[in-house]
Amino acid sequence: MTSTKHAPKAAPPRKARLSREVVLAAALELVDAEGVDALTMRRLGQELGRDPMSLYRYAANRAALLDGVTETVLEELTVFADDVDWQSQLRRMAHDLRRVALRHPNVVPLLVTRPLSTPLGLRPLAALRPLEQILDLLIKEGFAPADALHVYRAYYGFLYGHILNELQEYIVDPDENEAILRLGLHRLPANEFPRLRALGPVLADYNGETELDQGLSILLSGLAAQLARPHQNP
Widest CA span in the chain: 107
Do residues 109 and 195 share a domain? Answer: yes
Of the chain, the end-to-end C-alpha distance in Å amounts to 107
Is residue 26, in this structure, part of any structural domain at all? yes
Is 15 a domain residue?
A: no
pLDDT tens-digit readout, 56-101:
999 999 988 998 999 999 999 887 877 889 999 999 999 999 999 9
Domain residues for 46?
A: 20-59
Instruction: Quote the pTM value.
Output: 0.79
Tell me if 156 sits within 8 A of 135, measured CB to CB: no
Residue 3 falls inside a structural domain: no
Residue 174 has pLDDT above 80, yes or no: no
Give the CATH number for residue 47.
Answer: 1.10.10.60
What pLDDT score does 46 carry? 94
Q: Does 65 fall in a domain?
A: no
Do residues 123 and 49 lie in contact, with contact meaning Cβ atoms separated by under 8 Å?
no
Q: Find all residues with CB under 8 Å of 94, minimum gap 6, and list them.
A: 155, 159, 212, 216
Q: How many CB atoms are located within 10 Å of the residue 202 CB?
A: 9
